[in-house]
A and B are shown apart, each in its own frame.
Chain A
Amino acid sequence: MEESPLHPFELHNYFPINLGGLDISINKAVLIMWVVVALVAVLMVRAGSARKLVPGKLQILAEMLVDFIRGIILDTMGEGGMKFFPLIATLFLFILFCNLIGLIPGSYTVTSQIVVTAVFATVVYGLSLVMGFVLHGVKFLGILVPPGTPGWLLPLMVPIELISQLARPISLAVRLFANMTAGHVILGVLFGLAISGGLVIGWLPFAFTIAMNGLEVGIAFIQAYIFTVLTCVYLGDAFHLHGHDEHAH
């Protein structure tokens, strides 16, 4: 009866599909992602279709979310960052709803798969690199030289900056994945204790699973928020290139 706390992270194919050696089978994670996309789309479209002066509940929720994301962008990138609003809002809402849906018992946390978070991080970081080179050309390599570095320090500073740049996508991917996985492992362990403890002592870990679930709701928000803020920061770095301070924001 002992179940591994990692058991909930296993994925089994529902419909095996093989397209020219490429495994695109439908599993639980894929289904949940579809559900999340549908949920976000329906929520935002329905909330946006009314456009009343005195908003209803749904419209208030959507306006809060949009205003929240807009605030993040203005804080980190300034007015010029608003052209990335669709990308950043999509990322934030998708990650937030994935995290939250994963907390419903029996569903699946898509963001606990490092593949998913790594793809997000790669896309974000790749976009910041492409944008940097398109906007600034070769001068974008100057991002490896912090402003005000004396020449004799360059052989030391360039490798350090290179490592700190390479660490960006990795920390972006690992942070979200690790937080989600760790939280659900703790939930799994506590729930296993509750079951094996029976009625005599099992109520204690069970009470902790409820408390942990509440904490996880907070973590779901904070992790989605951090991912979004860092996306904005990385895009903003490529956008401004050392000009962060003189640029009004």
Chain B
Amino acid sequence: MPPPQDQFYAGLGQAVRIGTELLASLIVGGGLGWVIDAYLLGSTPWGLVVGLILGVAAGVRNAYRAAQRWQNSSDKPGQR
């Protein structure tokens, strides 16, 4: 059992988390683009390209937000 609210375990959690977050955003972005291509507009391959780019951006945005949240929570050591 990790000691409650240990900084190390909290940091480890954040670190392990971000990798999957990047991948999931990429999959969702690419998937949406592909669906738009294949079923809605027939605009192959542009939907996939734009979707993948947006997916990368979303993944980076998620990582950025996680870092921001981490910074906020470690700013207030007294209230942990």
Contacts and interface: CB of A to CB of B under 8 A. Distances in A.
Contacts of A65: 1
A160 B16 contact: no
Nearest to B72: A245
A226 B17 contact: yes
A163 to B, nearest CB: 4
Q: A interface, by DSSP: helix, strand, loop or mixed?
A: helix
B61 A233 contact: no
- Bin the interface of chain B by size: 20 to 34
A249 B80 CA distance: 9
Contacts of B12: 222
Interface string B1-39: 110110001101100110011011101110010000000
Interface string B29-62: 1001000000000000000000100110111011
Interface stretch (A80-88, A103-111, A165-173, A199-207): A165-173
B20 A160 contact: no
Contacts of A225: 2, 9, 13
Given A170-B27, A171-B20, A249-B79, A68 B58 contact: no
Interface of A: 64-65, 67-68, 71-72, 75-76, 159-161, 163-164, 166-168, 170-171, 174-175, 178, 221-222, 225-226, 229-230, 233, 244-245, 248-249
Interface of B: 1-2, 4-5, 9-10, 12-13, 16-17, 20-21, 23-25, 27-29, 32, 51, 54-55, 57-59, 61-62, 69, 72-73, 76, 79-80
For the complex of A and B, list the 5 residue pairs with the smallest distance between their C-beta atoms, beginning with the closest.
Answer: A171-B24, A164-B58, A163-B58, A167-B24, A167-B25
